[in-house]
Each structure stands twice: as C-alpha cells, then as structure tokens.
C-alpha cells in the first residue's frame, strides 16, 4: 500500500466486491439478502434472496458453491434454505434487520449458522445513494457433509429501512 511517498508492506486477505449494477428491482421486490461465505475447508458459498413486500423470496434468488479447486456449482432458490434466528433494530434508522441465520443446502448436506461479528454494521447513505442498508462481517459455524466447519464472510441486506430504490 502506498500512502503519499511511503510504501507500507501488507499481508493478508482482501475483499473485492464488483457490483455490475444496482438498478431498480423488478415490480413487487423491495430488497435483497446477499451472503458471501469463505469456509476454512476451502469451500465458498455465494447466495442471495430477492425479497418481496410480504417477506417472501423471489424464484430468481440463487447462489453458487465454489470448491477448493475453484469449480463452481449453481444453486437455485429451491436448493437453499434460510431461517432468521435473531433480529437487530437500528437506533439510527429504526430498521429491523435479520442478525443471525440458519443457512442450509440439504442436497449437499451443508448446515451453517451465520452470525454478525457485531450487530451495528448499518450504512446510512440515503443522502448520497438513496439507500440505507446493513453490510458487514459475519462468522460461520456448522457442518459440511457431516464434518465441523467454520469460516467468515460478508452479508448485505437492503430494503429493510425502506424499499430499495437507488437515487430515489
């Protein structure tokens, strides 16, 4: 990393999220819940659920499992199960966000508990982007095909403070 004229050595892992667009959602949808999980066994999971105003999930919700060799397998909405275990209410926006989840892929014998590292990871960007949302670091524990597994990840939750409409 270079700061001014100083070069500082850095080691570790980084996160790069390239969002190709956040346009308005389809009619009837109010936001999404997006998970990206990196597990200690070398496996990774990306999953998202598009939410409607009644709290249901769109059939277009999907995901991907990436194995330690980098090969990916697509997931459909029917492949994934998610249950909210806890909620957190923001003292700033008043939004009530999910704050712990049971996430599973039954056909692959994967069962995970996803928990935020801290509850308050809300971003108040309504004045610049038109969106207030929760985006933050999570820890993961559970089992992968009968074996204990842990890991970490990132979760993004939109549409809880207000329906997602960027620039509104």
> What does the domain layout of the chain look like in residue ranges?
25-157
| Token pair recorded at residue 166 | 């960027």
Q: Which residue reads 């308050």 in tokens?
A: 120
pLDDT of residue 93: 94
**DSSP per-residue string spanning 57-106:** B-TT-EEEEE-TTS-EEEEEGGG-EEEEEEEEE-TTT--EEEEEEEEEEG
Beta strand extents in 94-146 (DSSP E only): 96-105, 110-116, 122-125, 131-144
In the predicted model, residues of the chain with pLDDT beneath 70 are: 15-25, 164-168
Average pLDDT over the chain, rounded to an integer: 90
pLDDT digits (tens, 9 = 90+) for 94-117: 999 999 999 999 999 999 999 999
pLDDT of residue 15: 65
pLDDT of residue 166: 54
Classify domain 25-157 at the CATH class level. Answer: mainly beta
Predicted TM-score of the model (pTM): 0.86
How far is C-alpha 151 from the chain's CA centre?
14
């Amino acid at each position: 990393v270079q700061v001014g004229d100083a070069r500082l050595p850095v080691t570790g892992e980084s996160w790069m999220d390239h969002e190709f667009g956040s346009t308005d959602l389809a009619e009837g949808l109010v936001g999404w819940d997006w998970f990206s999980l990196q597990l200690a066994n070398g496996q990774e999971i990306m999953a998202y659920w598009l939410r409607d105003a009644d709290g249901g999930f769109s059939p277009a919700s999907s995901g991907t499992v990436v194995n330690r060799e980098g090969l990916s397998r697509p997931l459909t909405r029917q492949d994934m199960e998610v249950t909210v275990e806890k909620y957190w209410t923001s003292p700033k926006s008043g939004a009530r966000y999910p704050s712990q989840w049971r996430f599973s892929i039954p056909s692959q014998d994967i069962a995970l508990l996803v928990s935020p590292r801290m509850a308050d990871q809300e971003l108040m960007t309504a004045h610049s982007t038109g969106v207030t949302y929760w985006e933050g670091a999570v820890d993961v524990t559970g089992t992968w095909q009968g074996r204990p597994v842990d890991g970490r990840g990132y979760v993004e939750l939109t549409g809880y403070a207000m329906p997602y409409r960027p620039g509104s």
